């Protein structure tokens, strides 16, 4: 059902974009909007991972550079039957993480230095499992396309408002100035709402998949509580400068003031944690991976309760 909902929402975004093109330039504007959407999505398909990682100032690491993080990701990828993604670290104090890439074979996961510093090993495993859940469901591609279309709608609407409306194929104006201003305001707002709906539905699903991958929903629940407190107190300058990438992070990296808090691309953290706690209560206690099979792995000696190493615990 989530896939049907996502497909319908993406279709709605495409429809908004085409309507904006038609209102701006009639039949020719409609065709230009269609070609622009096709070109932007093709570009996003092949280059979204490089663009996002570059904007985040992320640098790739290997097993010798970040052995604990790399080992956790490798263990989770193996357990989930996924190809090993590239692993990146972002020099950013705010604890956060995201995944990117057009498919599991070309995926990358990135964690901030703040996340590695303030979360326990078990909590880091929960976060990385969440990101691999996005990779498995190809959410990063879907959300990149949504962001591309939403941004394009905003640009088209703004251009139409400045021009005072478009003209049809006979050169007659098809929008009066009031309608142009309304489109300039309402079209990007509608696009943002659709993008928000897509992102929120995928976050819940990635939480569920991450909890199943580790076998310990409370690891991710504890991590989300720590991330929520950390993102409230520590700004993320890179994300603030590139707000279009905010929906990719596991926790909203932007300050919650004004409309940003009202139209957040992330579901309420309290609801996410409650769902994970319900998952934990509905299943018997289990050891995610037999200790004898991973004596040197990231879960060789899981702690009964995640230690509080950050300033927000």
Query: Is the Cβ–Cβ distance between 162 and 25 less than 8 Å?
Result: no
Q: Which residues contact 291 (CB under 8 A, 6 or more apart)?
A: 299, 300, 301
Query: Is the Cβ–Cβ distance between 310 and 226 less than 8 Å?
Result: yes
Q: Which residues contact 10 (CB under 8 A, 6 or more apart)?
A: 142, 145, 146, 149, 198
Chain centroid to CA 188: how far? 19
Q: Given phi > 0 = left and psi -120 to 50 = alpha, else beta, which region is 81?
A: left
Distance in angstroms (rounded) separating the CA atoms of residues 287 and 277: 17
Query: Is the Cβ–Cβ distance between 167 and 26 less than 8 Å?
Result: yes
Active site residues: 131
Distance in angstroms (rounded) separating the CA atoms of residues 230 and 265: 18
């Amino acid at each position: 059902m989530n896939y049907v909902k996502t497909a319908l929402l993406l279709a709605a975004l495409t429809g908004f974009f085409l309507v904006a093109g038609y209102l701006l330039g009639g039949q020719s504007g409609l065709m230009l909007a269609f070609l622009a959407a096709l070109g932007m999505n093709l570009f996003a398909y092949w280059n979204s991972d490089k663009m996002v990682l570059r904007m985040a100032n992320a640098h790739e690491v290997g097993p010798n550079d970040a052995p604990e993080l790399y080992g956790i990701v490798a263990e989770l990828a193996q357990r989930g039957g996924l190809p090993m993604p590239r692993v990146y670290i972002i020099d950013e104090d705010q604890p956060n993480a995201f995944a990117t890439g057009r498919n599991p074979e070309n995926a990358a996961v990135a964690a901030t230095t703040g996340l590695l510093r303030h979360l326990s090993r078990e909590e880091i495993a929960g976060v990385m499992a969440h990101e691999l859940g996005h990779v498995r469901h190809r959410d990063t591609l879907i959300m990149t396309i949504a962001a591309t279309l939403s941004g394009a709608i905003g640009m088209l609407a703004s251009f139409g408002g400045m021009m005072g409306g478009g003209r049809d194929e006979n050169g007659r104006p098809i929008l009066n100035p009031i309608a142009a201003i309304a489109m300039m305001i309402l079209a990007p707002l509608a696009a943002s709402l659709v993008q928000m709906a897509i992102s929120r539905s995928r976050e819940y699903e990635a939480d569920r998949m991450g909890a199943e991958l580790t076998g310990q929903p409370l690891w991710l629940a504890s991590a989300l509580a720590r991330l929520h407190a950390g993102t409230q107190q520590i700004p993320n300058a890179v994300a603030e400068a590139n707000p279009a990438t905010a929906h990719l992070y596991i926790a909203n990296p932007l300050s919650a003031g004004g409309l940003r808090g009202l139209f957040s691309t992330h579901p309420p953290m309290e609801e996410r944690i409650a769902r994970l706690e319900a998952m934990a209560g509905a299943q018997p206690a289990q050891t995610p991976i037999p200790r004898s099979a991973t004596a040197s792995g990231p879960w060789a000696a899981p702690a009964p309760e995640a230690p509080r190493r950050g300033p927000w615990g």
